[in-house]
Amino acid sequence: MKKDLLYAPWRHDYINKNREDKDKNKMKNDCVFCHQLTLNQDAKYLILKRFDNCFVMMNMYPYNVGHLMILPNEHKGDIRNISKKTRAEIFEITSITTTVLENVLKAKGFNIGINMGIAGGGGIPSHLHVHVLPRWIGDTNFCETIGNVKILSSDIKKVYKLLRDEFNKI
């Protein structure tokens, strides 16, 4: 079955630019995640919580409502290149994140994964990130099945506030 393509050209700017005062705040590795982390504008960039070695943020282009990512603070694209301490924290925070999503959004299941490298499907392969997608029974519908279109029925800023409030309890 041939799939129609749904273009999202606004993602190009997010991935390749998405930096205010680009020259003033130039990042040595030119990474959108590092840049957002450095700016300390957590609400603007949907960063939910900072931990010692990693942080949790919402995906601005989610596959599902509440699609979160856990990223190391350091700019590394390969899980083998981060410290054992950082790896352990990332997976502990991944566990905590599932509980937050279960409590706040009443998720009934999860897809958790890492797309490492370009061939592995990484959209921004230079900065490792663990995807946590909450799932619900029957959360796909005819639009997705027939039209290959995903409909998100929640406002990302409202969901951000709900999740941030729960993460602030940690």
Q: Are 104 and 162 in contact (CB under 8 A)?
A: yes
Domains in the chain (CATH in brackets) are 47-167 (3.30.428.10)
pLDDT per residue as tens digits for the range 102-127: 999 999 999 999 999 889 888 889 99
pLDDT given for residue 122 in this prediction:
83
pLDDT given for residue 25 in this prediction:
47
pLDDT given for residue 51 in this prediction:
98
pLDDT given for residue 2 in this prediction:
54
Residues of the chain with pLDDT under 70: 1-29, 140-154
Indicate yes or no: pTM above 0.85.
Answer: no
Cα distance between residue 65 and residue 118, in whole Å? 25
pLDDT given for residue 28 in this prediction:
52
DSSP the chain: -PPPP---THHHHHHHT--TTTTTT--TT--HHHHHHHHT-TTTTTEEEE-SSEEEEE-SS-SSTT-EEEEESS--S-GGGS-HHHHHHHHHHHHHHHHHHHHHH---EEEEEE--STTTT-SSTTS--EEEEEE-TT---HHHHHH------S-HHHHHHHHHHHHTT-
